[in-house]
Amino acid sequence: MYPRLSVVFALVVGAGVVPAAPEPPAFKVTEDGERIRIAGSTLEASIKKKGYVSGVEAGSLLDTKTGARDLGFGLDIVDWVMEPGSDEEYRDKLPGDLPYVFNNPYHGKRAKRCIEGPQICTKAKELKPTVIFGKDFVAVKQDHTYTLAAPGKKTGSKWEQTIVFPAGKRYFISADKIAAVNASDAMFFRIDMPGHIKHKGGDTFSEVYLSYHGKIAPKEFEKDFAPDEKFLYTRDDKKVPQRIIRAYRIRDPKTGKDGPWLAGMTLDPSVVYEAWCHQRGYICMIEEIGGRAVKAGDTFGAAFIVGYFDSVEEMEKVYDEFAGNQGLEVSETGWKLKKAP
């Protein structure tokens, strides 16, 4: 008896060679004028081209194992380029949506101002994402050049986002970066990570998990509170946490049964300047990336893993496999995380 072989050979017939049948693609990708739809064996998602753009479209991230979907307004959604400080002295001269009002329940008391805009998710209106096909993954790249600037600042900083869907995984890998045309003592950009949580009295989730805080019960979000009242993370360079994982456990509002965790992991904790988890009609999960001195011409950013997990321990295992990275490169031949954005 011949030994069983794992390699599939072409069949030789006479002088001709009949090649082995090609493997089916790992993903089915369809595209129209509004969005790109990606369907794999373990995960489905869509990327919007128009309207509320950047990141993964709200409600589209499907965990085929459980049927769970994300609960917010999208995942890895992007806003402005910002810095600490008030814009009150020149607010009447700011274009578009650049005025940033604090001392309120939405933004808290910490003084911040927008350097460049518009807010990409709500005001860019249209992006032109491109799809890259690999042997065992599909990726999407998109970007936007900021067209509004505060007094004394230039327009033209460029945001770029890369999203990779690896075959067979219940998560995607993403990276966001800013190529800055301005200088700042503490420049940062703002994203939703993983995304916000829509709920009514905690009906859609059973727990929130913040690696730098612990698990939080739904009752903590029964009433609105400002970002700096509870659960605010602010970076202390003398005490950077081992991991930054922000997650919520999905609960079926009809049956009350717990489903998987949806987690967003920032793979290098040192890049997170601030991270919010507060109630404002929904649970708002904003992260601010950077917050360090930037010179014109510098690039800074972060890399993430976003997706479904059955336990906190599983999240930590995957996190540790990729920890320390800030950037992501992709081509048809493959993808790789890297230390610099």
pLDDT for position 5: 35
Rounded to the nearest integer, the mean pLDDT of the chain is: 93
Mean pLDDT (whole number) for 270-287? 98
| Structural tokens at position 326 | 């800030």
Mean pLDDT (whole number) for 86-106? 94
206-238 residue pLDDT tens: 999 999 999 999 999 999 999 999 999 999 999
302-314 residue pLDDT tens: 999 999 999 999 9
Q: Is the pLDDT of residue 143 over 80?
A: yes
Q: Is the pLDDT of residue 32 over 60?
A: yes
Q: Please, what is the Cα angle at 184 between 178 and 187, to 5 degrees? A: 45
Q: What confidence category does residue 254 fall into, taking pLDDT thresholds of 50, 70 and 90?
A: confident
| Structural tokens at position 77 | 């959604």
- Identify whether the C-beta of residue 190 lies closer than 8 Å to the C-beta of residue 286: yes
pLDDT for position 14: 43
- The DSSP H or E segment spanning 234 is strand 233-234
In the chain, the percentage of residues whose pLDDT exceeds 70 is: 93
Alpha-carbon gap, residue 224 to 245, rounded angstroms:
23
Q: Is the pLDDT of residue 16 over 90?
A: no
Number of H helices, E strands in the chain: 2, 27
Ordered by where they begin, the domains of the chain are: 27-332 (2.70.98)
pLDDT for position 26: 87
pLDDT for position 57: 98
Q: What confidence category does residue 1 fall into, taking pLDDT thresholds of 50, 70 and 90?
A: very low
List the one residue out of 55, 298, 268 whose CA is nearest residue 158.
298
Residue of 119 and 255 predicted with greater confidence: 119
Q: What confidence category does residue 168 fall into, taking pLDDT thresholds of 50, 70 and 90?
A: very high
Q: Is the pLDDT of residue 8 over 50?
A: no
Residue of 195 and 5 predicted with greater confidence: 195
64-75 residue pLDDT tens: 999 999 999 999
pLDDT for position 4: 36
pLDDT for position 18: 56
3-state secondary structure of 221: helix
